[in-house]
């Protein structure tokens, strides 16, 4: 995928943060929407099959309502599916630049299969709608003409077959698309797969469990969305009678509940199969939160059995959405940890370019002068003291010594912080948005203050932290 690697531009650390944010948002949409769409077709297809098997048209109506869950809003497949796929294609190579992780090909395959699935699903949806039209014809038009009735009959059968065919293809293609999506996101953080064959990627334990998890969560999500619209929002749907209402509720509720029970198991397998190079405390926090919200979801869908708790499904709907958002956060956190090293090398390229630019006027008066003390006083002091560890951040006197003689590494950290003391500070330090020149001055100054090496000019003010410490006692 040379083309996309050519699009990679050397970016500074603040841009990298922006790209990470974009990837996170895209991952939330993609996981949630592919899941939802799958749940929607899957449930609809099951309802339609039941309608045919039992010759019970009430399920046909349910199938129609269920497919609306994933396709009801015009263009949602584009905004929530295609667009995030495209941002993956643009975003991932930026962060994997210079590594062997060539993830774009897999994402493109995912996108193509996803598009085919969407096409199938829309044909399926239309055939359900036609089926209903034919049904009203059959029941309402008392035609005496044998030939017209026969015509209807043939067309009806045709529609029925198209529906069954495109429905099953929609489901299969969507599973394959989800598989590639999971595979690509796993591949991005599992560097043991880089340079290996496509089968390594598709059949790794993490890819497999992630795929199953998205499908199960999607089924839960689709059932929550249906139940929300049917029984809660603005008083719910107008059902023909109580019986139809209960039959629809029980059908969907069963799938929602079963998938909610399956999710914790899949989640556990998914999380233990994440490779070591991507593990971090924060990632587990996101994973656990995601799981917690699935439990809340299960609770609220369980309670819908009683009529008076039906509207509680609106919380279930919210819980499962949050759960998806946390799942995407877990995934992107794993990616972030695994590429932290690489992120630094990307901003190094940027730093070099920047330095060259500065070298142009380094000797002249215009060379930018950076006042490290001022930066500390305005930006770092909020969290850091020199001699006292705080809830917000470690004491410089504890963490700076390990950078003795490694100024360049300290510059790297300040320019683009990556997790260090994950035990005490699982969230790490937020990027402070310093320029390379500022980071360099800052590193010199910190080393000077704590170890007395580097920037000797900083020495005279070395008493200040001591004063501060007494003040804070
Ligand atoms: C919002 C709070 C906050 C601000 C503001 C902040 N930091 Fe930090 N800093 C942290 C936290 C939290 C950690 C611990 C992160 C970790 O260990 O992963 C940390 C760790 C560090 C470390 C130690 C890294 C290591 O290897 O252990 C250095 C150096 C540092 N910060 C420098 C700075 C500088 C320079 C500034 C100002 C430009 C600054 N920090 C501003 C929260 C902050």
- Residue 420 Cβ inside 6 Å of ligand 1? The answer reads yes
Q: What is the pLDDT of residue 239?
A: 81
Q: What is the pLDDT of residue 155?
A: 80
What pLDDT, in 10s, does the model give residues 320-369? 999 999 999 999 999 988 887 777 776 676 677 667 766 665 555 555 57
Q: Are 223 and 39 in contact (CB under 8 A)?
A: yes
What pLDDT, in 10s, does the model give residues 247-303? 898 999 999 999 999 999 999 999 889 988 888 888 999 999 999 999 999 998 888
Degrees, nearest 5: CA angle 56-57-63:
110
360 Cα to the center of ligand 1, angstroms: 31
Segment 214-222 shows an average pLDDT of: 96
Q: Whose CA is nearest to atom 39 of ligand 1?
A: 380
Rounded to a whole number of angstroms, the CA Rg of the chain reads 29
278 Cα to the center of ligand 1, angstroms: 21
Degrees, nearest 5: CA angle 231-46-302:
40
Rounded Cα–Cα distance for residues 289 and 281 (Å): 13
**Tokens describing residue 76:** 């949602």
Q: How confident is the model at residue 467 (pLDDT cuts 50, 70, 90)?
A: very low
- The atom number, within ligand 1, closest to the CA of 442 reads 35
Q: How confident is the model at residue 109 (pLDDT cuts 50, 70, 90)?
A: very high
- The atom number, within ligand 1, closest to the CA of 375 reads 38
Is residue 231 exposed (0-12), middle (13-18) or buried (19+ Cβ within 10 Å)? Answer: buried
Segment 205-230 shows an average pLDDT of: 94
pLDDT of 461 above 50: no
Q: What is the pLDDT of residue 318?
A: 92
**Tokens describing residue 262:** 């399956």
Kindly report which listed range (18-27, 182-191, 271-280, 344-353) carries the lowest average pLDDT score: 344-353
Cβ neighbour number for residue 214 with a 10 Å cutoff? 28
Q: Whose CA is nearest to atom 38 of ligand 1?
A: 380
- The atom number, within ligand 1, closest to the CA of 432 reads 38
Q: What is the pLDDT of residue 144?
A: 62
Give the mean pLDDT of the chain.
Answer: 84
Test site for ligand 1: of 13, 336, 393, most ligand atoms within 8 A of the Cβ: 393
8 Cα to the center of ligand 1, angstroms: 29
Test site for ligand 1: of 374, 383, 443, most ligand atoms within 8 A of the Cβ: 383
Q: Which residue has the tokens 């996108």?
A: 111
**Tokens describing residue 36:** 């939802």
388 Cα to the center of ligand 1, angstroms: 13
Nearest Cα to 95, choosing from 327, 307, 315, 347?
Answer: 347
Q: What is the pLDDT of residue 180?
A: 95
Rounded Cα–Cα distance for residues 81 and 87 (Å): 10
Q: What is the pLDDT of residue 356?
A: 72
- The atom number, within ligand 1, closest to the CA of 443 reads 35
- Ranges 117-126, 159-168, 330-339, most confident: 117-126
Segment 399-403 shows an average pLDDT of: 90
Degrees, nearest 5: CA angle 10-13-18:
95
What do you get for the CA distance between the two ends of the chain, in Å?
59
Rounded Cα–Cα distance for residues 106 and 187 (Å): 9
Degrees, nearest 5: CA angle 109-204-218:
65
Q: Whose CA is nearest to atom 22 of ligand 1?
A: 399
Kindly report which listed range (69-78, 381-390, 417-426, 448-457) carries the lowest average pLDDT score: 448-457
């Amino acid at each position: 995928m040379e083309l996309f690697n050519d699009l990679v531009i050397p970016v500074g650390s603040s841009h990298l943060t922006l790209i990470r944010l974009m990837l996170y948002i895209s991952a939330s949409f993609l996981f949630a929407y592919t899941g939802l769409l799958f749940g929607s077709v899957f449930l609809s297809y099951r309802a339609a099959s039941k309608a045919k098997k039992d010759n019970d048209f009430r399920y046909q109506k349910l199938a129609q309502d269920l497919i609306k869950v994933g396709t009801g809003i015009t263009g949602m497949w584009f905004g929530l599916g295609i667009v995030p796929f495209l941002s993956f294609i643009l975003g991932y190579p930026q962060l994997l630049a210079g590594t062997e992780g060539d993830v774009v090909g897999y994402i493109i395959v995912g996108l193509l299969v996803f598009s085919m699935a969407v096409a199938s699903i829309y044909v399926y949806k239309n055939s359900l709608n036609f089926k209903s039209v034919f049904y009203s014809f059959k029941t309402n038009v008392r035609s005496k003409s044998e030939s017209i009735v026969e015509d209807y009959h043939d067309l009806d059968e045709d529609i029925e077959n198209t529906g069954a065919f495109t429905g099953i293809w929609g489901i299969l293609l969507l599973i394959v698309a989800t598989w590639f999506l999971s595979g690509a996101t796993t591949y991005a953080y599992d560097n043991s797969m880089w340079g290996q064959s496509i089968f390594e990627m598709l059949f790794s334990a993490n890819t497999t469990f992630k795929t199953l998890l998205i499908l199960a969560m999607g089924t839960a999500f689709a059932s929550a969305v249906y139940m929300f619209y049917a029984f809660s929002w603005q008083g719910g749907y107008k059902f023909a009678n109580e019986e139809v209402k209960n039959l629809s509720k029980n059908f969907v509720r069963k799938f929602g509940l079963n998938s909610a029970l399956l999710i914790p198991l899949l989640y556990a397998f998914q999380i233990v199969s994440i490779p070591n190079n991507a593990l971090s405390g924060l990632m587990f926090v996101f994973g656990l939160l995601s799981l917690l919200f699935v439990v809340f979801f299960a609770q609220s869908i369980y309670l819908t059995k009683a009529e008076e708790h039906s509207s509680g499904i609106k919380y279930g709907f919210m819980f499962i959405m949050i759960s998806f958002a946390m799942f995407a956060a877990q995934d992107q956190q794993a990616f972030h940890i695994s590429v932290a090293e690489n992120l630094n090398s990307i901003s190094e390229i940027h730093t070099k370019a920047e330095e060259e630019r500065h070298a142009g006027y380094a000797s002249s008066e215009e060379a930018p002068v950076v006042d490290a003390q001022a930066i500390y006083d305005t930006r770092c002091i909020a969290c850091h003291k020199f001699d006292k560890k705080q809830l917000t951040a470690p004491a410089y006197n504890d963490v700076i010594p390990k950078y003795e003689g490694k100024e360049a590494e300290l510059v790297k950290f300040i320019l683009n912080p990556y997790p260090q003391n994950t035990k005490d500070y699982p969230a790490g330090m937020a990027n402070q948005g310093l320029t390379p020149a500022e980071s360099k001055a800052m590193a010199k100054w910190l080393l000077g203050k704590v170890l007395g090496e580097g920037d000797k000019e900083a020495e005279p003010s070395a008493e200040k932290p001591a004063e501060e410490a007494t003040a804070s006692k």
